[in-house]
Amino acid sequence: MAATVADVVDGTVVVAIGADATGASAPTLQRTDLPNGLTVLSESVPGARSVAFGAWVRAATLHERPDEMGVSHFLEHMVFKGTRSRTSQEIALSLETLGGSLDAYTEREHTSYQARVLDEHLEVAASVIGDLIFHPLIRPEDLALERKVILEEISMVDDTPDDIIFDVHNRAMWGDHPHGFAILGTRDTVKALDVPHLRALHTRAYHPGRLVVAASGRVEHEHLLEVLQRTGWTEQPMGDRSPFPVDPVEVAGPHAEHVKRKDIGQVHVVLGGQGIRHGDPRRFTFALIDMLLGGGMSSKLFQRVREELGLAYSVHSFTSSYADAGSHGVYLASAPETAQQALDAVREVLRAVADRGLTSEELAAGKRQLRGQLVLSMEGISSRMYRAATTALYGEPFRTIDELMALVEAIDEEQVRDVARDFFDPNRHILVSLGPKAVR
């Protein structure tokens, strides 16, 4: 981990992450923990003319009860219906008319609100997102309308088999644990949610003690802190910081499930299991294997299943990492008469890697590819903003590009064999399928 240099300025702790022990080197990431509990991170990117600004609320699907499934996503929608100082139309126009963008999403562990603007409009972005987070109206008259929108969103997923199959796999893996919940909720839970549910979540979670703010691009840390002060972020009370209760994770054992759908023309398949959590030291080895197996057109699965056998248009691997767990697997879609053959081919590829690992030539090629992907991902300021936030959300060290390259270069054949054996053996995986015909 890179060294850090800390100072106390006006009662706040300012940490320069990436500087040497004397502070001689210019830091690439700076962090301030404000007295009201707000965590602020920034990374200045030379040459950028725009800023990516985001706020992460430490509350999402993982913290929901079964009867309130979807409440985090519902609240994320409702804050855009109006605040104390802006109508829904004014929110929509606030950044788009400046050439910027405003977005929000709900995931397993966090709810995020993000903007991309020219550097001169950073204060507008901070003001709008602060308004959404701290001052939403959450009016009863907006609830029924937004409920219809979310039910349409659920219908859209129901009409998209390659979306449904991932929810099916999550439920098969995690069972009744919130990791297996549908982020959108179900029709029944969404219909049952009302204003008190949303306001209770807002009171519990939408305050500085549960917030991480990150910015990257053409931004100076001290200026960012001044912007947050001028737009009211520093005036908000800390709020409740007690952790949400979360049950321990238990992953289901290998088994197969099928959802019968006669109205679609393909069989959609996910074969996968437990993956890598955030902070696991094996993550780069895992990422290298996963990339070579199903990360693109050059991957083993794409070349075998699509190019050599012609059994699927789409076949790829996927992975998700959380603080306490992870999941990964392979997705494919194939005609009913060829789906079993396609699945068998996937298993053969996975089994070969699980049994033998990678050759020295494959490992060297994988290192080149992973290094390239890591560097290219850091060319975007939104990616850098997310990386900055991750250091606070998951307690991960901030690493320079050179440090990341060194970690990739250090991967050896023994590490690959161990990770491949532990995670990529298809006999350990859960199989789910959806379509007119089951596979096994």
Helix, strand, coil abundance in the chain, percent, nearest 5: 45, 20, 35
pLDDT digits (tens, 9 = 90+) for 143-201: 999 999 999 999 999 999 999 999 999 999 999 999 999 999 999 999 999 999 999 99
Q: What is the pLDDT of residue 400?
A: 87
Q: What is the pLDDT of residues 331-369, one digit of tens each?
A: 999 999 999 999 999 999 999 999 999 999 999 999 999
Is residue 392 over pLDDT 70? yes
* pLDDT at residue 3, rounded to an integer: 32
Diameter of the chain measured on Cα atoms: 69
Q: Strand ranges (DSSP E) for 322-421?
A: 326-334
Rounded mean pLDDT, 271-295: 96
pLDDT of res. 18: 54
Q: How many CB atoms lie within 10 A of CB 376?
A: 10
pLDDT for 17 equals 55
Relative to beta strand 211-217, strand 39-44 is parallel
What's the pLDDT score for residue 20? Answer: 38
Which residues are marked as active site?
A: 76
CA 252 to CA 249: how far, in whole Å?
Answer: 10
Report pTM: 0.91
pLDDT at residue 405 is higher than 60:
yes
SS3 112: strand
- Residue 348 tokens read as 């053969």
- Express each pLDDT in 103-120 by its tens digit: 999 999 999 999 999 999
- By percentage, how much of the chain surpasses pLDDT 90? 90
Q: pLDDT value at position 386?
A: 96
Confidence of residue 95 (pLDDT cuts 50, 70, 90): very high
